[in-house]
Structure 1
Amino acid sequence: MDVPAGPSFLEYLARERPDLLPPSGGARQAAAPGATEPGEVRHATTIVALTYDGGAVMAADRRATIGNVIASRHMEKVLATDRYSVVGVAGSAGIALDIARLFQVELEHYEKIEGTLLSLDGKANRLAAMIRANLGMALQGMSVVPLFAGFDPRRGHGRIFSFDMTGGRFEELEHHSIGSGAVFARGALKKLWQPGMDRELAVRVAVEALYDAADDDSATGGPDLVRQLWPVVHTVGAEGAARAADDVLAEAAADIVRRRSITGREA
């Protein structure tokens, strides 16, 4: 087996086994089994991220849709990419998850070859390059838009990066959201985010922002008290990345419903 010449697993894979990479364009792919049109693929929304004192939170609903049909209520749209970073994906679900998982391997491979973690800016740049490589598929309607967040040891705080489908990379301050419910989540984040907030409060704010998105966007699934399904929420700080426990999320969701019921707002 050939030894990779450099720290990039993507470059090695492109050279040795390009067939294992996510499709980057060219001929239009065949429709998924059961789909009659190329556009009938699963789509993922909504992702929110916000900073807190010493780190960042990223959260996503669990719903995937095909047109106006709920295709899944259990989708995992946020993944820990290494000890100090997380990525959330919106858009064409299959390609988005492939890119996110390949990004995980890319960072792990870099650490093994170089013996150190890639800087947070370096990670964001690598992800931007992967999104740019998918431009051909994006132009065919198979777009992937990630949201990336992590703890920067050099600066001692959390940072958030957004991207466009051409691979453009943009650092966001305080908070950001992507996906079809982004505009509604962003309105909630503007009202609820505050400087110096702790991790527990940041998690609750993320859940409430998703609740607002689900209230107005049919492609976004809210907390499901009947099925006991909660958003996927990851925190990342100096202590590393961790997934919020279901009991914490259940309490946050119940509190939102209780407060809005008492004040006469829709629950």
Structure 2
Amino acid sequence: MQETTANQVAGNATSSFTEHLQRDRPDLLPYHRAMPAAAAAATPLQVPHATTIVAMSYGGGVLMAGDRRATMGNVIASRHIEKVFPADRYSVLGIAGTAGIAIDLTRLFQVELEHYEKIEGTLLSLDGKANRLGAMIRGNLPMALQGLAVVPLFAGFDTTAGVGRLFSYDVTGGRYEEREHHTVGSGSVFARGALKKLWRPNLAEAEAVSVAVESLYDAADDDSATGGPDPVRQLWPVVYTVNRDGARRIPESELAAVAGRIIEARSAERREA
């Protein structure tokens, strides 16, 4: 009897934590929620939205940065939200869209990768991670059709190829590899314009950090939903780099210095004009 039970458990084991939840506890999935028909037909829910994320390749890895503002309609819902998270040792995830669902999806994705490593005894490949994130976004499609969309950016270091790689998604879970840089969120068009002028191949890590902060600064100048560096409140973007040594969050002291140089340079330009 004990042997039969053990075999049944082994047969039910899966390296995907999401599949385990879908089979045994679908109610715990972030996107397994149905809005009441009356609510779906009414005015869209006013919920916090995370906004601008930028990501780029640099010499030796990839970088991802996000501003700290969340909005709810015309109101600033939060000035302290974090939108970029480590997914595992060699990858990071940035979120834009409905903040609550996006954060839950991020946590689920982190557990998914940790669960796979524990079951299989090895890290999931970077392509495998990107595919599993796409499946999660696809699972949220019914909520996206009701206005509660989540659009992430995913970046990581491919330990097999020895290069950093960057992936964007659409609300259907479609996955697209970006070769240079990419942005998502309400300020993305302005941040992308800045990246086109500032980015170049094989940037040094410090240069890439400066480019990311400046692109968010430009986005905040034109998009009210994007929060720029705030020296008064001592609020700086969240910035991660990923290379062969793993993911690293850039310390706030470094970001404060970078933002200070950018603000001083812009102020000097205005004085000279």
TM over 0.5: yes
In the other structure, the counterpart of 1:142 is 148
Verify the 8 A CA contact 1:30 1:38 in the aligned structure 2: no
Tell me: CA distance 1:55–1:117, structure 2 relative to 1, closer, same or farther (3 Å). Answer: same
Q: How far, CA to CA, are the matches of 2:184 and 2:29 in structure 1?
A: 25
Deviation at 1:39, TM superposition (A): 2.4
In the other structure, the counterpart of 2:240 is 234
In the other structure, the counterpart of 1:158 is 164
1:49-60 maps to which residues of 2 (within 5 A)?
Answer: 49-60=55-66
**Residue 20 of structure 1, aligned match among 28, 44, 47:** 28
Establish whether residue 41 from structure 1 lines up as the match of residue 54 from structure 2.
Answer: no
* Deviation digits for residues 172-229 of structure 1 (CA, Å, limit 9, x no counterpart): 0110000000000001111111111111111111001100000000000000000000
Verify the 8 A CA contact 2:31 2:139 in the aligned structure 1: no
Verify the 8 A CA contact 2:164 2:242 in the aligned structure 1: yes
Count of residues in Structure 1 that have an aligned counterpart in Structure 2: 262
Verify the 8 A CA contact 2:167 2:176 in the aligned structure 1: yes
Tell me which structure has the larger Cα radius of gyration. Answer: 2
Q: Which amino acid aligns with 2:142?
A: G
Establish whether residue 125 from structure 1 lines up as the match of residue 131 from structure 2.
Answer: yes
In the other structure, the counterpart of 1:100 is 106
Verify the 8 A CA contact 1:43 1:90 in the aligned structure 2: yes
Q: How far, CA to CA, are the matches of 1:103 and 1:225 in structure 2?
A: 33
SS in structure 2 at match of 1:159: strand
Tell me: CA distance 1:83–1:263, structure 2 relative to 1, closer, same or farther (3 Å). Answer: same
Q: How far, CA to CA, are the matches of 2:150 and 2:269 in structure 1?
A: 39
Q: How far, CA to CA, are the matches of 2:231 and 2:203 in structure 1?
A: 27
SS in structure 1 at match of 2:168: strand
Deviation at 1:38, TM superposition (A): 3.9
Unaligned runs of 5+ residues in structure 1 are: none
Q: How far, CA to CA, are the matches of 2:159 and 2:85 in structure 1?
A: 20
Structure having the higher helix fraction is 2
SS in structure 1 at match of 2:248: strand
Verify the 8 A CA contact 2:79 2:227 in the aligned structure 1: yes
Q: Which amino acid aligns with 2:187?
A: G
Establish whether residue 201 from structure 1 lines up as the match of residue 207 from structure 2.
Answer: yes
* Deviation digits for residues 147-189 of structure 1 (CA, Å, limit 9, x no counterpart): 0000011221111100000010000011000000000000111
Structure 1 stretches of at least 4 aligned residues deviating more than 6 Å after TM superposition? none
Cα RMSD (Å): 1.9
* Deviation digits for residues 120-165 of structure 1 (CA, Å, limit 9, x no counterpart): 0100000000000000000000000000000011221111100000
Q: How far, CA to CA, are the matches of 1:235 and 1:52 in structure 2?
A: 9
In the other structure, the counterpart of 2:266 is 260
Q: How far, CA to CA, are the matches of 2:241 and 2:270 in structure 1?
A: 32
Deviation at 1:25, TM superposition (A): 5.4
Tell me: CA distance 1:201–1:30, structure 2 relative to 1, closer, same or farther (3 Å). Answer: farther
1:66-85 maps to which residues of 2 (within 5 A)?
Answer: 66-85=72-91
In the other structure, the counterpart of 1:219 is 225
* Worse-superposed segment, 136-145 or 196-205: 196-205
In the other structure, the counterpart of 1:10 is 18
TM-score, with structure 2 as normaliser:
0.92
